[in-house]
Amino acid sequence: MTRRTTIDPDSVVLNPQKFIQKERANSKIKVDQVNTFLESSPERRALTHTLIDQIVNDPVLKTDTDYYDATKLQEREVTAKKIARLASYMEHDIKTVRKHFRGTDLMEDLQANDPDKAAPLTNKDISIFDKRLSLVANIDPQLGTRVGVHLGLFGNCIKGNGTDEQIRYWLQERGATLMKGIYGCFAMTELGHGSNVAQLQTKAVYDKQTDAFIIDTPDLTATKWWIGGAAHSATHATVYARLIVEGKDYGVKTFVIPLRDPSTFQLLPGISIGDIGAKMGRDGIDNGWIQFRNVVIPREFMLSRFTKVIRSPDGSVTVKTEPQLDQISGYSALLSGRVNMVMDSFRFGSKFATIAVRYAVGRQQFAPKKGMSETQLIDYPLHQYRVLPQLCVPYLVSPVAFKLMDSYYSTLDELYKASSSADKAALITVSKKLKNLFIDSASLKATNTWLIATLIDELRQTCGGHGYSQYNGFGKGYDDWVVQCTWEGDNNVLSLTSAKSILKKFVDSATKGRFDAQLDVDSFSYLKPRYIGSVISGETKSSLQELGDYTEVWSITLVKLLAHIGTLVEKSRSIDSVSKLLVLVSKFHALRCMLKTYYEKLNSSSDSHISDEITRESLWNVYKLFSLYFIDKHSGEFQQFKIFTADQISRVVQPQLLALLPIVRRDCISLTDSFELPDAMLNAPIGYFDGDIYHNYFNEVCRNNPAEADGAGKPPYHAELSTMLDRGFEFDQKLGGAATTETLSKLNK
Amino acid sequence: MTRRTTIDPDSVVLNPQKFIQKERANSKIKVDQVNTFLESSPERRALTHTLIDQIVNDPVLKTDTDYYDATKLQEREVTAKKIARLASYMEHDIKTVRKHFRGTDLMEDLQANDPDKAAPLTNKDISIFDKRLSLVANIDPQLGTRVGVHLGLFGNCIKGNGTDEQIRYWLQERGATLMKGIYGCFAMTELGHGSNVAQLQTKAVYDKQTDAFIIDTPDLTATKWWIGGAAHSATHATVYARLIVEGKDYGVKTFVIPLRDPSTFQLLPGISIGDIGAKMGRDGIDNGWIQFRNVVIPREFMLSRFTKVIRSPDGSVTVKTEPQLDQISGYSALLSGRVNMVMDSFRFGSKFATIAVRYAVGRQQFAPKKGMSETQLIDYPLHQYRVLPQLCVPYLVSPVAFKLMDSYYSTLDELYKASSSADKAALITVSKKLKNLFIDSASLKATNTWLIATLIDELRQTCGGHGYSQYNGFGKGYDDWVVQCTWEGDNNVLSLTSAKSILKKFVDSATKGRFDAQLDVDSFSYLKPRYIGSVISGETKSSLQELGDYTEVWSITLVKLLAHIGTLVEKSRSIDSVSKLLVLVSKFHALRCMLKTYYEKLNSSSDSHISDEITRESLWNVYKLFSLYFIDKHSGEFQQFKIFTADQISRVVQPQLLALLPIVRRDCISLTDSFELPDAMLNAPIGYFDGDIYHNYFNEVCRNNPAEADGAGKPPYHAELSTMLDRGFEFDQKLGGAATTETLSKLNK
């Protein structure tokens, strides 16, 4: 180290470490307790840290700043290596769940598909791996997706639509769940259809003669498009295609179709595949397009839990379908993704909040007076306003993310149980639960992926130019993130869908007094007939005095907003005309869910795992700041729908908000440390734990950009530039020199 | 073309061309007139199209979709080639301005630096090239920046701070303006200081013995950072460093420092340079860091228009400085960038609006009823709300961008004239004009670069998954764009600076009746004492009845907002506490400027160049929609500051807004065509003129992703995957096979 890489401790300038150390020394918050709160429970917290520790220290899986310099091909190669590495962790994780490391080879027994040797695979078996994958996705999102498509989309499509035998065959015997033998992709969207799944055009025509389906792409717009893993990795696809039997179109069903020979990776007959190429982010995923040219698959490859093509011994064919369940199952593959994206929102949000808060504390700019040391960014009220509410976002996401995940798994278990036992009553109950889960997950997925897109963007801007450096994570982080707002349900479409269901519940409750006390009591308690009445009559009023008020004000707003929408729809007879307001309903529903879940968790002595009062107090401030920030953001609606008056906004909401900022600021480093993200997970030197911003950043830049081969600062393409700079004059002989007066006069002769 | 690349014209599905053709056939708008309106005048319009035509057809400068697949090194090489190409256009453009193509070699005469041979270079000489560069920057932003740093930052730094002789020497005789001999970079920001220029730490110590400056980087945080062109291209830098003479620190001044030998590109003694590496966007720019280790330059290399180090024959040294002008000139290099960014906002905005509107018209999704054809996205009210106000944004930017540009050049001419003739009175006037220009350009730069960042992001989302494909331009477009929110003045810092000046003007006017009728009448007419009085007294009321009202409502809002801020500051005695509101002042000031300039231009029969009434009507709708959209967006403030009541928002603003959407929708394709952007400038197949969305997109994807060398769909890294899929069981002999019961029992013996 020469002296130009040191920082003069006596200069008036910058020594960020001391500021961050000071914050740590002064904070009275119990970081341990907060992390347990954020990780849901001590057991889950322990698992999180074990897994993170393995991931960031694994020589193949760990991700350094050189990640930000990789080309598309390099990214894809590295991702493939990491997938192979994760495959061995998968075996390890299943054995860990089953506590089975000796005696017999569990994997061999599972693939034997013999219940006497090993019980069939369940969701529980891959619960550790699921969490591992969710954490990996936080470090290397494209890796997460590439495995997530195989297990979460391909796998869940089979689980949701296949018979027990089909599930066992494809996922266990053939090894797909073990990431063996089969690598799957999920061929739903087409070039011409994304959101409108029912209008997909790929055809699956049943051919009686061969007792097989002929899969065909009728025209260009029916080309399967955006299929993750199709370009280079997938050996099989679950394909959404129109079932056509004896000329009749039964709508879109799912089929397992082999694409490639797993050993040679050559495409099978009739399969055309191409690479979708460069994307805004996640270039490590080999998204592809697929066209089928009369590809033949046996009848048994149609996933047949809810729709069956039955061939009688006499050769006649019937189609048996359970439309209601069929529809539900159709979405269940996407449900897993949505639930996971809420968890991703927590983890991504905490990562970028950590980076930006540490930078804001360590960075100084402008002194109040000449000669005084410069002010830390975090001490500017505007900077507090830009950073601290964003820090609160992942705090408010965490409880709802865990709750949604738990509810997803328990509902899925119920569904499998009910559908395997063909218990009709149980099926009806579980299908209602699933519908509620659709509403919550759609609204939470859309709202949270938007919130985090905003968070990354706004926090990048708070880091100034250094936020634009790829090595500080925001650029790739944003590009990788924003696809979450579009895929597996476009956020606007999801918001409309969930809001329309909420509006229907509202109308049922308000006009007919209908309310399912058992099913709707949690997420939809603001839709109780009595509650709606009390809001409309003015009996229930908005205030911000008690902790519960910060949630309830959103319930009141939702009721008033829904009532306003109801009136407009009645007048216009068009639901489309209120769609802008419906998107708000979905947002407000999600914000309320987040606040309510957080409130209930923190309020519970058993669930919160917070025993320290100062810590609890600090977490209540986070809760209040989050609510106030979004009330202020939506002060237009809060005034328009008369939840607050202009004066209440000026005298209550905004002053409370401004007053909270310096209070939350006091604990901001502890609240950041409480995410307990190791540097290797942040992968952004301006945000590392030690706060040595400038050295860390400088060193990473130098490491990734060594001196050029021909001399420091001399580019391989220097000839392009020196030729230009050294060029002569146009009228020189070498260029013909025709235009001087002398030459021209010769030509004039 | 096989049939899988055709679209079945009889199918219920998608044929986007016919929709776009239909819109064109039905629209009554005169595209020609609108384009003249947007391009400011017929003459300017003609020049724009001549230049665009040359650029998109130039074999080196044209940019295809393969641009989106280039690696960082490829981007840099290609950019270097394009720079060399632009250098010959520069010569051509100067000769065009001077109408000098024969007789003598103008370039040779200019470099001879002899006024008898050729008049000195002026801004007028490079006016065509400036426009060419601005248009190139719209197609290839990194190329624009790389040349812009040389001419706009390096060049303007010399023009703003150098003596006439220095300007003539560096820019003309040495050839910098001709992009010859010298390639410059602008070494202002350091690792530790960006916005706070006054605290830069690089030292320039005058050494009496050698009559030279010793330039030195005192510590790591003083490393010059983010310097565009430094890593690989620049031969010289204008360096911001602290002038220290005989131990006294005179603050930050500017120096020309040679970095590299232009022919060998080797670094000169004492210069350390490194590559900053990967960025969120614009990887074709070779941003670098620079450290100086006692680098010696002659005294004459300090730019000395306003600060001079004078050495007497007796060897004594004095420093002469004109502090007020010095400060102004310090910022003038950045002024050019800000003015250009407003123009970029117009051009970037029109590009992405074109793509998204054409896609919204051509794309269908979901049918109202089974069997009916699917609805065009643009016919959904929510989609109209998402797309059409964004289409209005570039319309509202254009007039103010041209006006600001004109005002910049005329003020600069005044400045040079006044400072060359040392006319004190003229200097005082022009310095006031410059200050106003700082306010307007800061507020417009910040607001418009934010508006366009939002526009690109929101419009990308309206294109669903296809918006995430790199080939449709949004990804790289966004990544390249957002640095505009940070560089050459961080948007928040700029907003605060301009708002504080506006607040000062407000206070002067409201409390002391001070208002400069001559200088402030245009941008600051809402700050006239009488006007402020009439708003505060309620005499001037908000309404939305006449066209002028859509601008005036913003004037009223500004006055009320400023009055509110005034009260808060009086109470708190802290300007920092209202900084969130000050950012709003800057935004509202910019929105008002945009509306006012647009209103005045369209209202003028001579300036608007619109003779057709239907066309004018349509442009008034654009104006109204823009204003209403932002009133609604800011309905929180409009209600809080009592510009409109909740009922007015519900009954006037929002219904007017919703009613305008389908009206503007009728002309949306014509309003898009009116930008007259050729496909080669859009470089995004879903937005091409013919509307053949799916073919264009599919063909570009296929062209950029040809079949893999080892077989279609077989990745070069297939072994990684096939080895994983074919792997055996852990207990096999090859892995030691130690854990079977049989083996374990042997070990147990």
- Is the separation of the CB atoms in A239 and A154 below 8 Å? no
Contact B201 A11 (CB under 8 A): yes
Task: Collapse the DSSP code of A288 into the 3-class scheme (helix H, G, I; strand E, B; otherwise coil) and give the result.
Answer: strand
Annotated binding site for FAD: which residue ranges of A? 189, 228
Shortest Cα distance, chain B CAs vs residue A694, angstroms: 7
Full 3-state SS string of B411-464: HHHHHHHHHHCCCHHHHHHHHHHHHHHHHHHHHHHHHHHHHHHHHHHHHHHHCH
- Which residue is it, tokens 């009320």? B560
Shortest Cα distance, chain B CAs vs residue A602, angstroms: 31
Shortest CB distance from B381 goes to which of A103, A576, A650? A576
What span, in angstroms and rounded, lies between the C-alpha atoms of A232 and A234? 6
Task: Write down the pLDDT at residue B741.
Answer: 83
- Which residue is it, tokens 């295609």? A241
Contact A278 B101 (CB under 8 A): no
Amino acid at A434: L
Chain A positions touching B235 (Cβ under 8 A) are 725
Contact B715 A83 (CB under 8 A): no
For testing the chain A interface, which of B215, B224, B470 should be mutated: the one with the most A CBs within 10 Å? B470
Percentage of residues in chain A having pLDDT higher than 70: 96
Contact A201 B711 (CB under 8 A): no
Q: Which two tokens stand for residue A694?
A: 């400038």
Lowest mean pLDDT among A77-86, A707-716, B377-386, B417-426: B417-426
Which backbone phi and psi does B295 adopt, to 5 degrees?
-80, 130
Chain B positions touching A457 (Cβ under 8 A) are 453, 457, 482
Task: Write down the pLDDT at residue B220.
Answer: 94
Residues of B forming the active site: 488
Chain A positions touching B272 (Cβ under 8 A) are 4, 712
Task: Write down the pLDDT at residue B729.
Answer: 84
Task: Write down the pLDDT at residue A330.
Answer: 61
Shortest Cα distance, chain A CAs vs residue B78, angstroms: 9
Nearest to B635 by CA among B654, B616, B618: B654
Task: Write down the pLDDT at residue A739.
Answer: 77
CB-CB neighbours of B613 under 10 Å: 8
Shortest Cα distance, chain B CAs vs residue A298, angstroms: 23
What is the helix (H) or strand (E) element at residue B345, kind and residue range? helix B323-362
CB-CB neighbours of B162 under 10 Å: 23
Residues of A forming the active site: 488
* pLDDT surpasses 70 at A565: yes
- Is the separation of the CB atoms in A176 and A184 below 8 Å? yes
Kindly tell me the burial class for residue B733, based on how many C-beta atoms sit within 10 Å of its own C-beta (0-12, 13-18, 19 or more).
Answer: exposed
CB-CB neighbours of B212 under 10 Å: 17
Mean pLDDT of A719-740: 79
CATH class of the domain whose range is B491-687: mainly alpha
- Is the separation of the CB atoms in B237 and B256 below 8 Å? yes
Contact A739 B102 (CB under 8 A): yes
Task: Write down the pLDDT at residue A331.
Answer: 63
Q: Average pLDDT, whole number, for chain A?
A: 94
- pLDDT of A168-220, one tens digit each? 999 999 999 999 999 999 999 999 998 899 999 999 999 999 999 999 999 99
What are the residue boundaries of the structural domains of chain B, listed by start? 184-322, 491-687, 716-749
User: Between these two residues, A736 and B209, which has the higher pLDDT value?
Assistant: B209
Task: Write down the pLDDT at residue B1.
Answer: 34
Q: Among 2.60.40.1760, 2.40.170.20, 2.40.160.50, 2.40.110.10, what is the CATH number of A182-322? A: 2.40.110.10
- Which residue is it, tokens 């020594």? A15
Task: Write down the pLDDT at residue A445.
Answer: 98
Nearest CA in chain A to B638: A636
Complex ipTM value: 0.96
Task: Write down the pLDDT at residue A94.
Answer: 97
For testing the chain B interface, which of A154, A468, A481 should be mutated: the one with the most B CBs within 10 Å? A468
Nearest to B665 by CA among B199, B17, B224, B29: B29
Describe the crossing of helices A529-536 and A491-512 by its angle, rounded to 10 degrees.
90
Shortest Cα distance, chain B CAs vs residue A85, angstroms: 9
Task: Write down the pLDDT at residue B738.
Answer: 66
Contact B739 A87 (CB under 8 A): no
Domains A182-322 and A491-687 share a fold: no
- pLDDT of A324-333, one tens digit each? 676 666 667 6
Residue pairs spanning A and B at CB distance below 8 A:
488
- pLDDT of B353-372, one tens digit each? 999 999 999 999 999 988 88
What span, in angstroms and rounded, lies between the C-alpha atoms of B576 and B586? 15
- Which residue is it, tokens 């955006």? A226
- Which residue is it, tokens 């006009």? A511
For testing the chain A interface, which of B178, B193, B199 should be mutated: the one with the most A CBs within 10 Å? B199
Task: Write down the pLDDT at residue B424.
Answer: 85
Q: Supply the DSSP string of A371-390, one letter for each residue.
A: TSPPPBGGGSHHHHHHHHHH
What span, in angstroms and rounded, lies between the C-alpha atoms of B381 and B358? 16
Q: Which two tokens stand for residue A629?
A: 């920030």
- Which residue is it, tokens 């009133």? B631
Beta strands B224-227 and B184-187: pairing type?
Answer: unpaired
Chain A positions touching B220 (Cβ under 8 A) are 4-7, 694-695, 698
Task: Write down the pLDDT at residue B9.
Answer: 56
Task: Write down the pLDDT at residue A742.
Answer: 82
Nearest CA in chain A to B495: A382
Nearest to B152 by CA among B138, B174, B137, B169: B137
Contact B739 A233 (CB under 8 A): no
Task: Write down the pLDDT at residue A326.
Answer: 67
Task: Write down the pLDDT at residue B328.
Answer: 67
CB-CB neighbours of A605 under 10 Å: 10
Contact A286 B11 (CB under 8 A): no
Beta strands A236-245 and A203-207: pairing type?
Answer: parallel
Task: Write down the pLDDT at residue A428.
Answer: 87
- Which residue is it, tokens 């394009």? B82
User: Between these two residues, A406 and A416, which has the higher pLDDT value?
Assistant: A406
Helix count and strand count (H, E) for chain A:
27, 11
The domain defined by B184-322 folds into: Butyryl-CoA Dehydrogenase, subunit A; domain 2 (2.40.110)
Task: Give the residue ranges of chain B where pLDDT is below 50.
Answer: 1-3
Which backbone phi and psi does A215 adopt, to 5 degrees?
-95, 130
Nearest CA in chain A to B8: A219
Nearest CA in chain B to A77: B717
Nearest CA in chain A to B3: A219
Where would I find the H helices in A127-226? 127-139, 141-148, 156-161, 164-167
B189 marked ligand binding residue: yes
User: Between these two residues, A620 and B748, which has the higher pLDDT value?
Assistant: A620
Annotated binding site: which residue ranges of A? 189, 228
* pLDDT surpasses 70 at A1: no
Shortest Cα distance, chain A CAs vs residue B237, angstroms: 14
Nearest CA in chain B to A196: B366
Beta strands A295-298 and A288-292: pairing type?
Answer: unpaired
Percentage of residues in chain A having pLDDT higher than 90: 86
